[in-house]
Amino acid sequence: MHIFFHEGSTMQDRFISTIGEGQRDPLLATLRESHQYNVVIHSVDGRELIDSKGKKLLDFASCNYIGFDQDQEALLAEGVKAAREFGIHTSRARLMGYHTLFSNLEEKLAHFMGGEEALLFPNTTLASIGIIPALMRHGDLIILDKAAHATMYQASQVARDKGALLKSYENEDFDSLKNILEEHRSAPRKMVCVDGVYSMTGDYANLPKLLPIIRKHNALLYIDDAHGFGFIGENPTPQMPYGFRGNGVINHYGCQKDDPILYVAGTAKGLAAASAFALVTPKMKEFLMAYAKPLDYTHPSTPFALGILNAALDLLPKVGEERRLKVFQMTHTLVEGLRQMGFYVMTKTLFPIISVWVGETDRLLEASRKLYNKGIFLTSCPYPTMPRGKEALRLTITSSNKPEHIDALLDAFQSIALDWRSIGAPFHPMDLEGS
């Protein structure tokens, strides 16, 4: 038995050693050198953490924007109740049968979003892997926004293996999108895949420009709103640019039921519940139940997770507005402070994803290490998670953060600014022009 495990371990290492230099090698270097990856959290007190090395950290890597991950008292009871009533695990594929938790929550989500019906998936990754290959077949056209989440690309690769054509365009290059659609106008079905809220900039899909193009070319717009659902919503105002209710990017822009959209959202970031859903028509729901492979070959969300989701949907209208306002105020303070120091902050919307441009991996690693040593936990984004020249430090703000956390973060970035000025490092991509 000892020899078996030793040989297995050796063979795994040999497999790795024979793989040549790859695109994700800079990410491996970051894992080893930045101190911002593979951090083991020993204890949690809101957004104040202690890692396994005893280091105290302020958490700017969480995407639970409304802070429901810290609402144990309000949410846990419903999760435990669902587990007691229906079991700890669902124990079967969704296609085979499901608890009333599923049908009740799908009705509740559809009503919340203003759609006809909803269909639950375990997460947005499996939703895309299920939906896109189910709908797109031989000769069909899939067009990906290059800034959209990689999981849609992975799902589209499965469809491409079945004969679908896969193309891409630069974010907001609508002329390029039009040209691709026109060039392949004879494709039986055409799908354009975008993020609702882009995970590096916090900017929103430009639905007012996208939808007329989609309609003209008889296409379907697939939206992954993993970051937007639960946070942004309808009727935005200058005082509350995120909008209200948290019913997603489609309601933020006032989309209608007959718009050519297939909307998918995760509930983990917005509502701290491990699940996802698609807004569908009754006919589409029946089709996906039969053809979306994760509904047949993967276990669905647990009763506990669905109980949490049910309670979170009830809690959201009670606390959402106050918490969004708090997040907006802290985000505004952070962005203004960073820009006053000279940093290039990649946001148009003040959504609480704040990416600070660095532009090269070595400088990114140095800044990441220094920020960790100053007690800041964030997401370090080297190539290939970002294109070369766009490497960035990503910060996320949640309602569980405090104004004093923002002050500490700005103090830490002030030291980075001093370092960069001392070596003449660029603060903005335009600083590189002509150099």
Strand partners, 168: 144
Which pLDDT belongs to residue 308? Answer: 97
Q: Residue 244 has what pLDDT?
A: 97
Q: Given a cut of 50, is residue 404 above it in pLDDT? A: yes
Alpha helices in 203-349 (DSSP H): 207-216, 248-252, 268-271, 282-291, 294-297, 303-341
Burial letters 156-195, b for 16+ CB under 10 A, else e = bebbbeeebbbbbbebeeeeebeebbeebeebeebbbbbb
Average pLDDT over residues 118-142: 97
**Helix, coil or strand: residue 355:** strand
60 neighbors 409 (Cβ within 8 angstroms): yes
Question: What size, in residues, is the chain?
Answer: 435
* Max intra-chain CA distance, the chain: 67
C-alpha to C-alpha distances, 101 to 81, 301, 408, nearest whole angstrom: 11, 10, 43
How far is C-alpha 399 from the chain's CA centre? Answer: 18
Three-state SS for 269?
helix
Give pTM, 2 decimals: 0.93
pLDDT exceeds cutoff 60 at 86: yes
Structural domains in the chain plus CATH codes? 22-69+320-423 (3.90.1150.10), 90-301 (3.40.640.10)
**Mean pLDDT computed over 308-314:** 98
Q: How far lies 252's CA from each of 187, 194, 231, 325, in Å?
A: 31, 16, 10, 16
Q: What is the pLDDT of residue 337?
A: 98
* CA distances from residue 110 to 177, 236, 319 in whole angstroms, order as listed: 30, 21, 21
Q: How large is the angle between the packed helices 403-423 and 303-341, nearest 10 degrees?
A: 50
| Three-state SS at 245 | coil
Taking the CA atoms of residue 423, residue 427, residue 433 and residue 435 in that order, the dihedral angle to the nearest 10 degrees is: 0
Confidence at residue 434, expressed as pLDDT on a 0 to 100 scale: 52
Task: Detail the DSSP E strand segments found in 27-71.
Answer: 41-45, 48-51, 56-59
pLDDT at residue 186 tops 80: yes
120 forms bridges with which residues in the sheet? 277
pLDDT band of residue 385 (cuts 50, 70, 90) is confident
Q: What would the two tokens of residue 422 be?
A: 């001392």
Q: Tokens in use for 21?
A: 């230099």
Please answer whether residues 231 and 182 qualify as being in contact, where contact means their C-beta atoms are separated by less than 8 angstroms: no
Tell me what the pLDDT averaged over the chain comes to.
93
Query: pLDDT value at position 5?
Result: 41
Contact present, 308 and 272 (Cβ < 8 Å): yes
In the predicted model, what is the mean pLDDT of residues 145-159?
94
- pLDDT band (50, 70, 90) for residue 12: confident
Helix or strand holding residue 395 (H, E): strand 392-396
Check residue 110 and give its pLDDT.
Answer: 98
Residue with tokens 């490497």: 391
Residue 191 contacts residue 132 (beta carbons within 8 Å): yes
Q: Sign of dihedral through CA atoms 209, 212, 213, 219?
A: positive
| 303-321 as b/e: b if 16+ CB within 10 A | bbbbbbbbbbbebbeeebb
Looking at the chain, the whole-number percentage of residues with pLDDT higher than 90 is: 83
Q: What average pLDDT score do residues 303-325 get?
A: 97
Q: 192-238: per-residue pLDDT in tens?
A: 999 999 999 999 999 999 999 999 999 999 999 999 999 999 999 99
340-372 residue pLDDT tens = 999 999 999 999 999 999 999 889 999 999 999
pLDDT at 29 over 80: no
Query: What is residue 1's predicted lDDT score, i.e. its pLDDT?
Result: 36
User: Is residue 134 within a helix (H) or strand (E), and if so which, with residue range?
Assistant: helix 124-135
pLDDT of 411 strictly over 90: yes
Q: Tell me: the pLDDT tens digits for 244-298?
A: 999 999 999 999 999 999 999 999 999 999 999 999 999 999 999 999 999 999 8
pLDDT for 235 equals 98
Mean pLDDT throughout 66-84? 96
